[in-house]
Structure 1
Amino acid sequence: MMETSEILKKVRKIEIKARGLSANIFAGQYHSAFKGRGMAFSEVREYQYGDDVRDIDWNVTARFNKPYVKVFEEERELTVMLLIDVSGSLDFGTQKQLKRDVVTEIAATLAFSAIQNNDKIGVIFFSDKIEKYIPPKKGRKHILYIIREMLDFHAESRRTDLAQAVEFLTSVSKRKCTAFILSDFYARQDFLQQLTIANRKHDVVAIQVYDRRACELPDVGLMKVVDAETGYEQYVDTSSRKLRDTYHRYWLNRQAELKETFAKCNVDSVSIATDDDYVKSMLGLFKQRG
């Protein structure tokens, strides 16, 4: 467990980076990609040529004996939920960072983008159970608390159950929200049904963070591999071309299945490697939705 001073130092470092990204890069893109709940009545004004007659306020029109129309504006305020995977498989990284570090940075940037748009932000930490729920609130103090939790949170379980996490989102969020699932999506259970139901009620976005070694094994001879979630260990001979090809095909098939699941649920998604420029990837996602 990190010392308090070390945590605060890391929180400050992430805050500076995330605030800079959200203010200078993400702000406009985030606003256009994630719309408010709908249109809210703002005021009335006199009817002008070209106005939709369906917007005429007949009560005001009768009172002043000339036509008035209702003016609506977008309800901008959103509730944003971050579903953050805290299972054991996130503690892995062979490139620049661990998957957990990248998830934390992306989540922090999304959080600061949210409060710059006056949105509430909440968090669900999940493994194969709901580890912690932080209800949505506004403000910098709330976001710094979230970042601190992300940096120093220790899950009780190392396994993953995405279905349960998504089901919890549906039950706990009564009003429509925008929900980002940040995970490597190493789920042993099918979550198609739960994700479909959640995306009918909410606007769900999937952000997959993975490491390059998940795609291809290096040719380094005999190597011990450990399943981070079950603790199962075995030795594999990575000098075998057949083994490396089989491993790579497994990754491709798994990604294809994941992509198909998101398509069936109508969920927008992006896959980001630990050594990728996640800013570029996220902006691509925002542009796709804009």
Structure 2
Amino acid sequence: MAAQLREILLRTRRHLLLARPGEQPSRLAGEGLDFRELREYTLDDDIRHLNWKSMARIRKPLVNRYNESRQISVGLVYLNSGSLAIGAPVSKKDLAVELLTALSYAAARSGERVSTWFLGADECAYYPPGRRQGDLAERNHALATALEAKGEPADSEQLLRELGPRLRRRSVLFLLGDFMKPLDLSALASRHEIHALILRDRLDEELPGGSFLLEDTGSLRRKEAVIDPAAREHYRRLVREQDAALFEHFRRHGIGWEKFGTSQEPIARLAQYLRRP
């Protein structure tokens, strides 16, 4: 496990933690508190601090400088379920472990307070805010690795019940799961900034044809089934319709989202997502 953790942290530093401060991931960086002065813009500055009014007046790019930075609270929510065991060449659970570890390290490295939840329909574990980057990443990596992918995912009411009382101020929440079942995030989105990291394998969206012994990842019941072309098309249509409704829900409530496939490099994709305006 130690070798795997080191490899994840190396890729996190390479993709997420760049040397120039102006290039830190925008969704993991706090904002300035007290305005101090204007000064001329340099390539190392965050373009969000440009003072547009002054630029229009004197025709030179100027940035606002502040006395200190306000920290943000980051919440990492691992939505466990039996369906996370699916995937090749790695499982969706493996993707979740990498992303959770990378986010823990990057957020703590930026000086933010990081809380973690591990949620399933029949389980809940909460770890209060911390800032020590190595400890947080190692702890979350160990917990997520040891967690068995089983059961049904948490529902909307459980999310509100577990997260609501502990989030006393506006936070940035990252929800990691496959989102194969509907989840209403409107109540959380009205108070917090939410990002859904959707973990998918090709089998989630495209069934193979033939005869199979199928197992329900929630109930663990098994049965034989024949998947013919009509069944494959019906399943494909259901997934497309469900995803269309999910993405419309995200759009309507201002929720950011990104898909991560089991055949993709997750941390580089995470870095691209975090740097989007």
Q: Aligned letter for 1:225?
A: L
Stretch moving more, 74-83 or 202-211: 74-83
- Within the candidate set 101, 106, 110, 1:108 is matched to 101
The equivalent residue for 2:265 is: 277
The equivalent residue for 1:62 is: none
Asked whether 1:216 is paired with 2:210, we answer no
The equivalent residue for 2:183 is: 191
What does residue range 244-259 of structure 1 map to in structure 2 within 5 Å? 244-259=232-247
Deviation at 1:102, TM superposition (A): 0.5
Q: Aligned letter for 2:175?
A: I
The equivalent residue for 2:220 is: 231
> Structure 2 CA distance, aligned partners of 1:278 and 1:86?
18
The equivalent residue for 1:66 is: none
* CA-to-aligned-CA distance 1:123-174 (integer Å, 9 cap, x gap): 100001452101110111232112111111347x611123112442222111
Structure 2 CA distance for partners of 1:147 and 1:255, relative to 1, 3 Å: same
TM-score between the two structures when normalised by the length of structure 2 = 0.80
Q: Aligned letter for 1:100?
A: K
SS of the residue aligned with 1:201?
coil
Segments of structure 2 that go 5 or more residues without pairing to the other structure are 39-52, 55-63
> Structure 2 CA distance, aligned partners of 1:217 and 1:134?
37
Deviation at 1:25, TM superposition (A): 9.2
What does residue range 41-52 of structure 1 map to in structure 2 within 5 Å? 41=34
Segments of structure 1 that go 5 or more residues without pairing to the other structure are 1-6, 52-69
Asked whether 1:143 is paired with 2:131, we answer no
Structure 2 CA distance for partners of 1:33 and 1:27, relative to 1, 3 Å: farther
- Within the candidate set 40, 43, 46, 2:33 is matched to 40
Largest Rg, 1 or 2: 1
* CA-to-aligned-CA distance 1:107-129 (integer Å, 9 cap, x gap): 11112211221112121000014
What does residue range 260-271 of structure 1 map to in structure 2 within 5 Å? 260-271=248-259
Question: 2:105 touches 2:136 (CA, 8 Å); kept in 1?
Answer: no
* CA-to-aligned-CA distance 1:255-280 (integer Å, 9 cap, x gap): 11211221222101111111123245
Structure 2 CA distance for partners of 1:96 and 1:278, relative to 1, 3 Å: same
Structure 2 CA distance for partners of 1:162 and 1:15, relative to 1, 3 Å: farther
Question: 2:28 touches 2:107 (CA, 8 Å); kept in 1?
Answer: no
Deviation at 1:42, TM superposition (A): 5.7
Structure 2 CA distance for partners of 1:282 and 1:252, relative to 1, 3 Å: same
